Chains A and B, each alone.
Chain A
């Protein structure tokens, strides 16, 4: 690979005189393309048949639900967080952005009072829904814990069967009844 000539950073701001040999000669692109096409044909070059369209779009990890692994600890932690976050509060503190601080806060309070009739029923509805959701997920947690206990019990019983019979425990009911 021959060493590339060191580039001069020519530009309109440098004041350097530009070299323009052949600047006015038009490059016969069509002729070059014809030669290239002939070369491709002669040498039998083939286009690779892997298409970009066939590559699936994969989203950020947290959106790729198929890759998620369940963790009881993470679930419990999120459940605790959910119960902290579930209530929407309409009484947020008000701050002033301008120099007329007190006047601004007065007007913001007045506006909040005026909008209350519309906003509070919406927030109340949202809070009820959040409460229902949180309770449902708590019940789901309780159910998963129960499932975990039963899985532990099943494992224990399977081991006992294996030890007593001297062969691996059958997992279907038909085998167990023999």
Chain B
């Protein structure tokens, strides 16, 4: 019996890719024969870990873990494979967010959602990154058991040194508000800009907004955001674009507050990153945001930019409140600790294997 992972793209450094690599490491350490297969594999990933999907062969005893996060021909291919099928559902952005910006991406997301429905009776077990994701599968009447399993995160790399010079550039006395995420319409960076505009206008002119994330394939949305920022007008809005890991660390280390107005997230790893870097979080309560925050941070029920600005100012000026928020975030961060989540993952997978009669004495 082998436990194989399958995904359309194994990228280096993104949440889904990191999740797959972490699972590979855990299974390997536990003595399982395991490999990752993907249509596209980042060339930095060693061949002994991942192979092209055209080389994949399975038999009835194998367990295939499929990372479901987008439209792909693999979605249907997965259903036809021999072996037990486990889906890890990372969520697929609803296509409506990309309308008018990127027709190819819009179609990919729509096709992904069709596939998600199709797979409702083809999968033997489903793990969802969040309660929100699990809820979607249950709403689609998935026949198999559905459990919640947070994405596997490791923060060892975050202890690296950031470029000291770059940190200095942002530590110039201005208050730094940050949001991390691809420049994408579902993440609603326009609402972040709007709230920040009102914060800068009414509370603190000496402030900067850092929008940390690539705008590749979202150039039309990016241009619209820039136009919007100019029209308001708001000063000191930085679109970093794609940055290196060290530059990302700089931004986090210089940030005073994390502001999220996203309307669709399957988990939102940047929230956990903000917790790790002890940045107080203000976030709009949508999709999986509430689950990931787990009662920590400040959740906004609506997007009134004046109120959001007021909350930001209160947190930044009220040291006791800020400490209380950070304490809550520290506590929530423990739930995503490496040892805990790895143990949880193995419990779930081995529970499934036991039920299927595949777990031999180890």
Q: Which residues of A contact B (CB under 8 A)?
A: 1, 4, 7-14, 18-27, 29, 32-33, 35-37, 39-40, 43, 45-48, 50, 52, 55-60
B331 contacts the other chain (Cβ, under 8 Å)?
A: yes
Query: Are B334 and A12 in touch, CB under 8 angstroms?
Result: yes
The 15 listed contacts between A and B (C-beta, < 8 Å) are A7-B279, A9-B158, A10-B276, A19-B330, A20-B327, A21-B323, A22-B323, A23-B331, A29-B298, A45-B306, A46-B306, A50-B231, A50-B232, A55-B224, A57-B223
Q: Given A12-B334, A27-B321, A56-B224, 12 more contacts at CB 8 Å? A: A4-B256, A9-B276, A9-B277, A11-B333, A12-B338, A20-B330, A24-B331, A29-B299, A48-B232, A50-B232, A52-B194, A55-B224
Given contacts A9-B276, A40-B307, A55-B228, contact A27 B298 (CB under 8 A): yes
Query: Are A58 and B223 in touch, CB under 8 angstroms?
Result: yes
Report the separation of the CA atoms of residues A9 and B155 in the bound assembly, to the nearest whole angstrom.
Answer: 10
Query: Are A14 and B159 in touch, CB under 8 angstroms?
Result: yes
B117 contacts the other chain (Cβ, under 8 Å)?
A: no
Report the separation of the CA atoms of residues A148 and B277 in the bound assembly, to the nearest whole angstrom.
Answer: 65
A-side contacts of B321, CB under 8 Å = 27, 32
B270 contacts the other chain (Cβ, under 8 Å)?
A: no
B-side contacts of A27, CB under 8 Å = 298, 321, 324-325, 328
B294 contacts the other chain (Cβ, under 8 Å)?
A: no
B-side contacts of A13, CB under 8 Å = 154-156, 159, 337-338
A-side contacts of B295, CB under 8 Å = 26
Residue-by-residue, is B210-225 near A (CB-CB < 8 Å gives 1, otherwise 0)?
A: 0000000001110110
Report the separation of the CA atoms of residues A32 and B301 in the bound assembly, to the nearest whole angstrom.
Answer: 13
Partner of A12, one of B101, B220, B310, B336: B336
Query: Are A48 and B224 in touch, CB under 8 angstroms?
Result: no
Query: Are A40 and B155 in touch, CB under 8 angstroms?
Result: no
Among all A-B residue pairs, the 7 with the closest Cβ atoms: A12-B337, A36-B310, A52-B190, A23-B327, A11-B155, A23-B331, A22-B324
Q: Which residues of B contact A (CB under 8 A)?
A: 100-101, 154-156, 158-159, 173-175, 190-191, 194, 197-198, 201-202, 206, 219-221, 223-224, 227-228, 231-232, 253, 256, 276-279, 295, 298-299, 304-307, 310-311, 314, 321, 323-325, 327-328, 330-331, 333-334, 336-340
Given contacts A12-B340, A52-B190, A60-B219, contact A36 B323 (CB under 8 A): no
Partner of B330, one of A18, A33, A45, A55: A18
Partner of B220, one of A8, A25, A60: A60
A-side contacts of B158, CB under 8 Å = 9, 11
Given contacts A13-B156, A40-B306, A50-B232, contact A18 B334 (CB under 8 A): yes
Report the separation of the CA atoms of residues A13 and B325 in the bound assembly, to the nearest whole angstrom.
Answer: 21
| Nearest neighbor of B189 in chain A, beta-carbon distance | A52
Report the separation of the CA atoms of residues A7 and B307 in the bound assembly, to the nearest whole angstrom.
Answer: 27
A21 to chain B, nearest CB (A): 6
Given contacts A10-B278, A12-B155, A13-B154, contact A59 B220 (CB under 8 A): yes
| Nearest neighbor of B206 in chain A, beta-carbon distance | A1
A82 to chain B, nearest CB (A): 26
A49 to chain B, nearest CB (A): 10
Partner of B173, one of A1, A12, A43: A1
Query: Are B159 and A33 in touch, CB under 8 angstroms?
Result: no
Report the separation of the CA atoms of residues A14 and B202 in the bound assembly, to the nearest whole angstrom.
Answer: 39
B-side contacts of A59, CB under 8 Å = 219-220
B-side contacts of A19, CB under 8 Å = 327, 330
A-side contacts of B276, CB under 8 Å = 9-11
| Nearest neighbor of A1 in chain B, beta-carbon distance | B173
| Nearest neighbor of A36 in chain B, beta-carbon distance | B310
Report the separation of the CA atoms of residues A19 and B321 in the bound assembly, to the nearest whole angstrom.
Answer: 15
B-side contacts of A20, CB under 8 Å = 327, 330-331
Query: Are B333 and A12 in touch, CB under 8 angstroms?
Result: yes
A-side contacts of B224, CB under 8 Å = 52, 55-58
Report the separation of the CA atoms of residues A147 and B299 in the bound assembly, to the nearest whole angstrom.
Answer: 66
Query: Are B311 and A33 in touch, CB under 8 angstroms?
Result: yes
Report the separation of the CA atoms of residues A9 and B191 in the bound assembly, to the nearest whole angstrom.
Answer: 29
A-side contacts of B198, CB under 8 Å = 45, 47-48
B-side contacts of A10, CB under 8 Å = 276, 278, 330, 333
